Amino acid sequence: MGIRVLALSAVVAVAGCASSSKTYTADGREGYSLNCSGTARNWGMCLEKAGDICGTRGYDVLERSGDQGAMVGANQYGMYGSTTRTRNMLIACKP
C-alpha cells in the first residue's frame, strides 16, 4: 500500500509541472523550450515556468504551439477514448 501512495504522489507531482530544456533561438540567443502538454497541465503552467526561469528580467515568447487530438485504446472492459493535448512554447529571457 505504501508503494502505491508513493508512486501516485510522484505522478501527481510530475503532472503538475511544465518541463523545460535549454536551447538556442534562431537569432542566437539562449532560449528555453517549455512543454506543458497533457490533460493535467495548461498554458498557465508554461508561463509560470518561464517566470521561474527568467525571474524579474522577464521573457519574450518566440513561439507557441498547441494541438488537441484523440486517442483510442482498449482494455478488458472494451474500447475507450480520451483527448490528448500538446502545448509547447519557446522563450528567451530579456537581457
Tens of pLDDT, residue by residue over 54-76, are 999 999 999 999 887 665 666 77
Report how far residue 59's alpha carbon sits from residue 55's, in angstroms, rounded to the nearest whole number: 9
The whole-number average pLDDT for the span 9-28 is 73
More confident call, 57 vs 9 = 57
Confidence of residue 36 (pLDDT cuts 50, 70, 90): very high
In the chain the domains, ranked by start, together with CATH numbers, are: 19-93 (3.30.110)
C-alpha cell at 39: 490533460
C-alpha cell at 8: 501516485
Rounded mean pLDDT of the chain?
A: 80
